[in-house]
Structures are given as C-alpha cells and as structure tokens.
Amino acid sequence: MKNEFVQHIHDLLCIFAEVECYRFFGGFGFKLGGIQFAMVMRNTLYFVVDSNLRDFFISMGSEPFTYKSKAGIKKLQRYYSVPDEILEDYEKLAVAQNQSVAFAMKTNYKSAKARKV
C-alpha cells in the first residue's frame, strides 16, 4: 500500500504519462514503458540523472541516493533527489521527468541486452 507522499508523487508523475508505481526494496519504484526512471526512498523522490540533470539538481542542493552497507556508506550517482522547487512546478517537473526517462531508457541494461540478441 502506498503512503500519502508516494501517492502524491505518483499523481504528479502521471499528469503527462501513465507511470507504473510498485514496491521496490525499502521504497517504491516508478516505471514508464517498463523502464525504471525514479524511486521514492525514505520519503524522498530520486530521478535517474544524466550529467546535465545531475549538475542542475546539484546546483539546487540535490544529493545522490545513499545507503549503508557492511563496507560503509554507498552513494549511487545514477539517482539524485528531486529538488522541492522542481516538485512544485509542473512544467519543470515534466522537463526533468522526460530527461530522466530518456536517459533511463538509453542506459537500461535490459534494453541493451535485448538489442544484442
């Protein structure tokens, strides 16, 4: 079952496209066209980012997704938190979401594997 924050994020992401929301490890994943482009962990939305989107998000105070492992703190440079300013502006969110989806589709392991077959 989704919490209120996840439901709100799902509603926002579905404004422009039919986005699938599903349980994902300790949070929720979001897919478009079968490709995961976002996740919510600990009530924070993270998008898959290319270098341009990463730099833009960092300039707004965004941070990479981190988690603890036996080897210490791990930072995933593929996922960065979506700044509140983006979440509050439908047009900026749509642009960031489209960029995230495009990069996720371009770099998806399953898609690359399927192309080689």
Domains of the chain: 4-116 (3.30.1460.30)
Cα–Cα distance list, 9 to 75, 78, 112 (Å): 23, 19, 29
The angle that helices 51-59 and 90-106 make with each other, rounded to 10 degrees, is 140
The two tokens of residue 16 are 């422009």
Rg (CA), the chain: 14
Q: What pLDDT does 98 receive?
A: 95
Q: Which regions of the chain are under pLDDT 50?
A: 112-117
Q: What pLDDT does 2 receive?
A: 74
The angle that helices 90-106 and 4-13 make with each other, rounded to 10 degrees, is 80
Q: What pLDDT does 110 receive?
A: 61
Please count the residues of the chain: 117
Look up tokens 């730099």; give the residue.
Answer: 55
> Does the predicted model carry a pTM greater than 0.85?
yes
